[in-house]
Every structure is written in C-alpha cells, then in structure tokens.
Structure 1
Amino acid sequence: MESIHYVEKIRKFNRYYANVLGKIDQEIYNPSFPLTEARVISEIHYSPGCTATEIREKLGVDRGYMSRILQRFEEEQLILKKQSLEDKRQYALFLTEKGTGVFEELVDRANRGVDKMIQNIPETDLTKLVSSMETIVTIYTKEQASPVTVTIRPFQPGDVGYVAYLHGRYYSQNYQFGKIFEYYVMKGLTEFLYDSEKGQLWIAEVNGQIAGSIAITKAEDTVAQLRWFILDEPFQGIGLGKKLMETALRFCVEQNYKHVYLWTVSSLAAARSLYTKYQFVRTEEKPNDEWSGTQMIEERWDLDLTTTP
C-alpha cells in the first residue's frame, strides 16, 4: 500500500489535534450550549433560511438529536421556523434577536479562548500555523472549486526573482535553511541568466498564479543538471510535479542529452519518491552543515537517458 506513509502521518495528526480541539472546546463554549448545539446556532446564523436536513447533513448529526436541539431552541425562543412554500414538510430556520445574542456571546467566548491559546506562540510560528490551516482547507475544497487551469511555460522577465523567493521562503519555513542557502540559489540563477545555452527554466502557473518551477542547465555537452524544482505548498499534491518533471526530461531528449543528474537532500521524501518513479538512481551522498546549521545529507541522483523508454 503506497499511501501507508501518508495515512499514518494523517492519523497521528488527527490524534494530536483532537486533543487540541478538546481543550479549545472546554475553554470556549458555554456549558449551557454543548459543542454540537453551538455549531447548529452558528449554521443558522451564517445560512439563514437553512433547513434541519441541510444542517444534519453538514454536521453529521443524528435526526433524533437534531429534532431535540431545535425543539429546545424553539422553546427558549432562540429560533423561528417558517414552513417552506415548496415542501410543506420542511421549515426554514432563522435566529431570533435572542438567538443572535447567544451567537454573539459564543463568538466572543470563542475569540477570547483562541486568543488565550495562541498568545505564547511567536508570530513567525503563528503565521506558519495559519498558513497550514489554510492549506488544509484549500486541499479539501478543491472538488467544490472552479476548474483549475494549469500552464507550464518558459520563464519571463521577473520570474527568476520569484523562483529565488519561493526557495528562500519554503526552505526557511519548513527546514530552517538560512541565508547561505538562499545565496546558493540566487548565485546559480544569476549564472543561468548570464549563460543559458542548452538550458531552460519553466514556470508552473495555476489559474494564472505562479505555483512552482523546474530547470535544466548544461553541465557538459551530453550531460544536463536538473535544478530549481519546487512547488509552492498550496499547489502540492495536484500532479504539478509530474508535469514539470516530464517537461524537463522531454527537453533533455530534444537537446540530445545522454545523461541528467540532480542534487537534493535526504529529508525531501516526496521529491525523492518522484525521482525514483522517473528511474533516477541515487549515486552519491555528502554531508552539508552550511545551509541550516545542523548537518544534513545531500544526495546526487542520476538518470541515463539512453536506456530510458
């Protein structure tokens, strides 16, 4: 089962985050309104005129439990029910003035609870935390999003600086790489701009937004190097890496290269898996303690294009 690595990591995250959510819930919600009831109130506020069926399906609430919740809310004058003109069995739900007051109290408690939870988190880590949450939402809402337009194109003026920015930001946030790594990336890119004979840098765009890059540079007459392969985090996992890799390898064949190699680091599991898929073979390892202050292992991966189908 190829996905077991991801399954185990997702389950580990779920176990940890379930405990975090439990602590948040204890801090936030009024004992008079358990979590499910608070969520029902929120759904009616954000979707006035919704039905009990719609809320049940969205929140996964049992029919009987939902009926009891709405009965209580009606008795306490928190909601109004209006019979649907299209289906007499359905009722549109609205918050009363009192219900709106309860919602606002819940929001205030929620804001204060979350603020208390994050007040000791450094701003840089908080930015990463929120960005990761937004990434999860983006991935899980892709099916509901508008059609995605993917474009792989040669670089244009201004793109090279953005490629350097993507590398500096991504590896700083995720692997604590420092200024020396960013210098290494920018030095290579400026050398490529000065002399790009038998080379090319491609930019991946998703709906017009730059999402990643890959490049081929000349190492020797018949040997190429694959470089600056990166995908911005919100666009990982949608097949862009394969499109970029195939673009680069096709270019190598067109330029009559017989061999292509790349350098990576051992901690980049997803990238290494992709290299294996395209029949690259790891041929060399060397320690590196310059980029992050802690020792890592650089790896060279090679592909013989004369034997590739």
Structure 2
Amino acid sequence: MERIQYIEKIRKFNRDYANVLGKIDQDIYNQPFPLTEARVITELHFTKGTTATEVREKLGIDRGYMSRILQKFEDDNIIAKKRSSNDQRQYSLYLTNNGEEIYNGLVENANQGVEKMIESISQPELSNLITSMENIESIFSNENPAQSNVSIRSFRAGDVGYVAHLHGILYDKTYKFGPKFEYYVMKGLAEFMINNDGGELWVVEVNGKIVGSIAITKSNDTVAQLRWFVLDENYQGLGIGKKLMETAINFCHNQGYQHVFLWTVSILETARYLYKKYNFTLTEEKSNDEWTGTKLIEERWDLDLSKVKSFD
C-alpha cells in the first residue's frame, strides 16, 4: 500500500470516529460539569500535585479559560493550592475531599454511560474493540513495543498454559485453525512438562507481558526438534523472532546436538523466511486436512548445525 493511502485511511478513521467519540464524551462527562472541567478534575485526580501549566498544556486548554476553571474550582472547594517547592511562582494543585467525591460521581456516570453504549455489542466484538483500542494507544504512546524492554527467559510455573493460549488465539484469529490444532499443541506441551530432558522452553516478555515462545525438544542424542515457535502479531517486525531463533540454536550447540528440524505449514510465510535465513532446508511435505477443514501443506525443515555457529 502506498504511503498516501495509509495517510488517507488514517484521516478517514479520524473523520468517522471523531464525531462518535466526541458525542460519547459530551453525553457521559458533562453531567453536571462541562467536558473540559470534567477532564481537569480527572487529571488532578490522577496527577496529584501537578501545576496549572502542566494540566493546561496536556489538555490543550486556553490559558484564560484554564484560569477561570481553577478559580471556580477553588471557590467551590473542589481544589486546594500549595506553592510548588520547585518553582515558587507555581502552585501544586490537589483535589479536596469534596473534589474527590465529585470525581467519583463523574466516574459512576461515565461507567453507566459506557455500559449503555456497549450493551448491544457482542462479547467477541467487544474483545476485538478493546484489543484494537489498546493497539492504537500503544502505537501512539511511549509503550510502543519497539521502545520497550524485551527479555527472553526459561519457562516457569504458569507459562506453559499461556504458550498454548498464544497458539490458540493466533492460529484461530489469523489462520482459522480449529480445536484439533489447539489439542495438538496442548498434548505436546503436556508431554514436554512430564519429560523435558535434553530440551528447554523459553518465553519472551515485553514489559513483563508474555508475547511469544520457542522450544527445543530431544529427538535422540544427536537430533533436536524446534517447537512452539509463536509470536503475538502485534510484536512482529521488531527482531524478537530472530532473538528467539538464536536462543534456540545456541542451546542446541551447547547440548551437543548435530542436527535440528521443525514442522510448519506452507502458509506461514514470515516464519518460513526466518527458517531460510538461518539455513534451514525444506526436506519433506505432507497434506493436512484436520486443522482448518481445508487442505494444508505441512513442511519439515532441517538444519545441519555444523553450518551455523553459535550467536553471542
């Protein structure tokens, strides 16, 4: 897609939903306060001790209007001012007990309003809506995955179930795999938990959230199998798959394996590209009509570990 098309789609989204979201704000938050005043109260609740300048700049409020709001709030015993210790020209702002009660009332009204708004939305649609909102928020915030803390660690209690969950969600949502595939994944993971001699399972976390995994299991004394390589699509393209692959290959070298293989399906183009990059070779194909109800091509890929060095 050309860049101008991305820009036009973003502008269309903004046009379509600015009115919707603006109406939500007006309907929910202006009882009994106007929207801007309600936003100021909310900001003061979450950022105790902030200054008028900080609130005004964050919310984009005119200086004169901000001054009138604060004067009204002070007269109505909604806020209290304390001279800032960092700048004697500034005052730190706090909600009074009365202000906190008003904030709680705004929250109750807001919750009732949102509940009414979403009452006709199905649970799957609601889950999809929230995920989309979180993705947009993440991309436009400092929590963008590209700027986040990424760590890879060996699995511990509770992780294996989450690895199965990641497979089930990803392959159902993106590729329409059915419950038989999820059973296949869970069966293998259960067997691994009973006997993982010569193998290891790693999970990758972004800011403490598990977003992917990879594993090595022992086939025989010289041959290993790479399994359960999965990554949340929201975190693809950030080099995480590369880090997982190198973690697994390093482990194979350290264990003295001479060969490693894996099974995948032909429709997983991103994964297949990575396997080629690390010198895996396609060695076998077979059909599979159990997981999606349509014909899939399963592929075996093999790697002679003497052709790949360990990674620092």
TM range (shorter): 0.5 to 0.7
In structure 1, what residue type is equivalent to 2:201?
W
Deviation at 1:202, TM superposition (A): 1.6
- Structure 1's 90 and 286: CA in aligned 2 closer, same or farther, altered over 3 A? farther
Question: Using a 3 Å threshold, how does the CA distance of structure 1 residues 92 and 152 change in structure 2: closer, same or farther?
Answer: closer
Q: Which moved more, 1:181-190 or 1:97-106?
A: 97-106
Partner of 1:263: 264
SS of equivalent residue, structure 2 residue 230: strand
Provide Cα deviations, 1:147-183, integer angstroms capped at 9, x if missing partner. Answer: 9583533x67876555434433554466553321112
Q: Which secondary structure state, in structure 2, belongs to the residue aligned with residue 228 of structure 1?
A: strand
Q: Is the 8 A contact 1:260 1:302 kept in 2?
A: yes
Shift of 1:34: 5.3
Aligned-partner Cα distance in 2 for 1:275–1:160 = 24
Structure 2 CA distance for partners of 1:123 and 1:251, relative to 1, 3 Å: same
1:118 and 1:265 mapped to 2: Cα distance?
40
Q: For 1:264-305, what per-residue CA distance to the aligned partner results, in whole angstroms no more than 9, with x for missing partners? A: 463x56645644654557788877653345x47556374654
1:281 to 1:70, Cα distance in 2 relative to 1, 3 A: farther
Q: 1:300 to 1:39 in 2, by over 3 A?
A: farther
CA displacement, residues 181-230 of structure 1 (integer Å, 9 cap, x when unaligned) = 11221343456568868x62322264887654312346799765422112
Structure 2: 5+ residue stretches without partners: none
Q: CA RMSD in A?
A: 4.8
Deviation digits for residues 14-59 of structure 1 (CA, Å, limit 9, x no counterpart): 6476565334224323288554443222112333432112213433
| Structure 1 gaps, min length 5 | none
- Structure 2 partner of 1:71: 68
Residues 1:200 and 2:199 are matched in the alignment: yes
Aligned pairs for 1:176-187 within 5 A: 176-187=176-187
SS in 1 for 2:290: coil
- The one-letter amino acid paired with 1:70 is S
Q: 2:183 and 2:31 mapped to 1: Cα distance?
A: 55
The residue aligned with 2:117 is: 117
- Alpha carbons of 1:195 and 1:55: their partners in 2 closer, same or farther (altered >3 Å)? closer
Distance 1:270 1:70, change over 3 A: farther
Is 2:199–2:216's contact at 8 Å kept on the other side of the alignment?
yes
Asked whether the 8 Å contact 1:160–1:189 carries over to 2, the reply is: yes
Residue 227 of structure 2: aligned partner: 227
Give 1:52's aligned residue.
52
Distance of aligned partners of 1:152 and 1:21 in 2 relative to their CA distance in 1, 3 Å threshold: same
| Structure 1 residue 234, shift from structure 2 partner | 8.7
Match of residue 30 from structure 1: 30
Question: Any conservation in 2 of the 1:138–1:234 contact (CA below 8 Å)?
Answer: no
1:84 aligned partner, one-letter code? R
Structure-1 separation of matches of 2:272 and 2:9: 20
Deviation of 1:115 (Å): 1.0
State, as a whole percentage, how many aligned pairs show the same letter: 48
Amino acid at match of 2:203: A
Tell me if structure 1 keeps the 8 A contact 2:80–2:95. no
Give the TM-score of the pair, scaled to structure 2. 0.66
Corresponding letter in the other structure for 2:258: N
**2:84–2:92 CA contact under 8 A, matched in 1:** no
Q: Give the AA of the match of 1:150.
A: S
Matches within 5 A, 1:94-105: 94-95=94-95, 103-105=103-105
